[in-house]
Structure 1
């Protein structure tokens, strides 16, 4: 059943209008008709089954048939502070992280970041990544669209410290402290908020890692003996965390 996101919460037997690009997709691309049913997600974790009852100039009119809390969303909320990669690698990162179950992205500018964006380019990139995330959320049956935050420098990450229960930095020079050991050492609640900090192609400098430890209280984590590309590291770590908390099946 096709899925659409709406920017409102509603109840059973209430009517909803789908307009704009979603209406064009519903009517002209999917060729849905009166009587067809879709899933509506309100962005707050609720899914609603709805039936198309009318088309007009403004959009498609639907009536809500059922409403229930989604069983798809992860209780533990994992964000990626991802060092800016070259070319279109961030598209891949946010698409796959959405499918796996992350909560959102903080595009991270650090000392060894190769790509540099001006303000206009940042806005365009942020909008593009948000579109990629929304498409991936629909495809993977998510009931919440992960959020793309504003660009942030590694020096300003300290402003986010109080928003997370744990901050983990993946660093290729850390050789022994694994994600599995981190979970053994910490009683991580099922609804904890975790920030994963991932370096760009050039990785983090030693001084940056030290600042993460002293200013953020971050744990420095290894993903094993192999050095992963930046577009692989965050996805692998996210998968490992969700697995440890039982979010990828029993």
Structure 2
């Protein structure tokens, strides 16, 4: 069934309305008839099966038939603090990370960031990436749309420490600690909150990495002997973490 997101939580038997672009997609693109059913996600991890009751001038009225907790959302919450890449690479990162199961993105400005955005451009980019996340969430059957947060600078990162249980920094000069060894050495709770910090095309300076260690108590991680592109590194690390926690279809150890 087709999936739509609503910005409210509701119960079985209640009615909801879909308007705007989703209404146009429902009625004119998909050409769904009265009595057809869709899945609505309320943004809180619940899937609601709903039946189309009526089409009005600018909205569709639906009745909630069933409500259940989604089984597709990972218990572990992984965020990416992604160094700003060039061109449209962030679109790809957001799209694929959403499909795999990340919780959200913090666009990160750092010393070696090549692209520079003014405040107006930042707002446009953030809005665009949020739309990419929503589209990817619909396509992949997610019950929650990952959040795209405000831009952050690597010099102003203290707040990260309070929001996450663990902070992992991917750095090409690290030779020892891998994601697998990190999980072996730490008892990571099933619902832990992890922040992955990924550098831009030029990587992080040693001073930045030291700052992450000192201010965030971050663990510096290697992804192996090969140097990955910035648009690849976060996706690989995210996949590895979800795999370690049995969130990709395999059983937990």
TM range (shorter): over 0.9
Q: Does 2:165 align with 1:162?
A: no
1:204-215 alignment to 2 at 5 Å?
A: 204-215=204-215
Q: Which runs of 4 or more aligned residues in structure 1 lie more than 6 Å from their structure 2 counterparts after TM superposition?
A: none
How many residue pairs match? The answer is 250
Supply the distance in 2 between the matched residues of 1:247 and 1:43 (Cα, whole angstroms).
Answer: 20
Partner of 1:217: 217
Supply the distance in 1 between the matched residues of 2:33 and 2:95 (Cα, whole angstroms).
Answer: 30
SS of alignment partner, residue 195 of structure 1: strand
Supply the distance in 2 between the matched residues of 1:150 and 1:180 (Cα, whole angstroms).
Answer: 30
SS of alignment partner, residue 87 of structure 1: coil
Partner of 1:35: 35
Post-superposition shift, 1:156? 1.1
Partner of 2:66: 66
1:75-224 alignment to 2 at 5 Å?
A: 75-224=75-224
Post-superposition shift, 1:160? 1.8
Could you say what the CA RMSD is over the residues aligned between the two structures, in angstroms?
Answer: 0.5
Post-superposition shift, 1:157? 1.4
Partner of 2:229: 229
SS of alignment partner, residue 51 of structure 1: strand
SS of alignment partner, residue 155 of structure 1: coil
Post-superposition shift, 1:184? 0.5
Supply the distance in 1 between the matched residues of 2:17 and 2:193 (Cα, whole angstroms).
Answer: 34
Supply the distance in 2 between the matched residues of 1:160 and 1:235 (Cα, whole angstroms).
Answer: 20
TM-score by structure 1 length?
0.99
TM-score by structure 2 length?
0.98
* Structure 1 residues not aligned, in runs of 5+: none
Supply the distance in 2 between the matched residues of 1:78 and 1:225 (Cα, whole angstroms).
Answer: 24
Supply the distance in 1 between the matched residues of 2:214 and 2:11 (Cα, whole angstroms).
Answer: 48
Q: How far does the alpha carbon of each residue in 1:124-143 deviate from its partner, in whole angstroms, 9 at most, with x for none?
A: 00000000000000000000
Post-superposition shift, 1:249? 1.1
Supply the distance in 2 between the matched residues of 1:212 and 1:64 (Cα, whole angstroms).
Answer: 47
Post-superposition shift, 1:58? 2.7
SS of alignment partner, residue 72 of structure 1: coil
Post-superposition shift, 1:154? 0.4
Supply the distance in 2 between the matched residues of 1:167 and 1:160 (Cα, whole angstroms).
Answer: 8
Post-superposition shift, 1:63? 0.4
* Structure 2 residues not aligned, in runs of 5+: none
Supply the distance in 1 between the matched residues of 2:53 and 2:24 (Cα, whole angstroms).
Answer: 16
